[in-house]
């Protein structure tokens, strides 16, 4: 069986962003993150404020912008200790 024909679409990559209103949102695309990037304007799903994000070239017409689900992600930098 040939591996050149794929019936499964690759999973959408989701990148998190934050708006000044406090909302977290994800911009999803199917692009190759190592490809050349372009800047596009997306809108916050809560307040509709404009945000400029970079995405792989060719994905700018097939983006999803959705509120980020779940709890706030950990930012690291914990105490560590000896």
CA distance 21 to 41: 17
For residue 17, what pLDDT is reported?
A: 95
Specify the pLDDT at position 35: 87
**Domain spans in the chain, listed from the N-terminal domain onward:** 13-67
Altogether, the residues listed in the chain come to a count of: 82
Per residue in 33-74, pLDDT (tens digit) is 888 999 999 999 999 999 999 999 999 999 999 999 877 666
Q: SS3 for 37?
A: strand
Torsion of CA 52, 29, 57, 53, to 10 degrees: 10
pTM over 0.75: no
- Residue 20 confidence (pLDDT) above 50: yes
């Amino acid at each position: 069986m040939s591996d050149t024909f794929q019936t499964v679409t690759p999973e959408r990559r989701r990148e998190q962003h934050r708006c000044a209103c406090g909302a977290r949102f994800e911009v999803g695309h199917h692009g190759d993150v190592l490809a050349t990037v372009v800047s596009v304007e997306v809108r916050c799903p809560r307040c509709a404020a404009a945000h400029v994000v970079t995405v792989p070239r060719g994905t700018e017409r097939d983006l999803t912008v959705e509120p980020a689900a779940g709890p706030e992600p950990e930012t690291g930098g914990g105490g560590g200790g000896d």
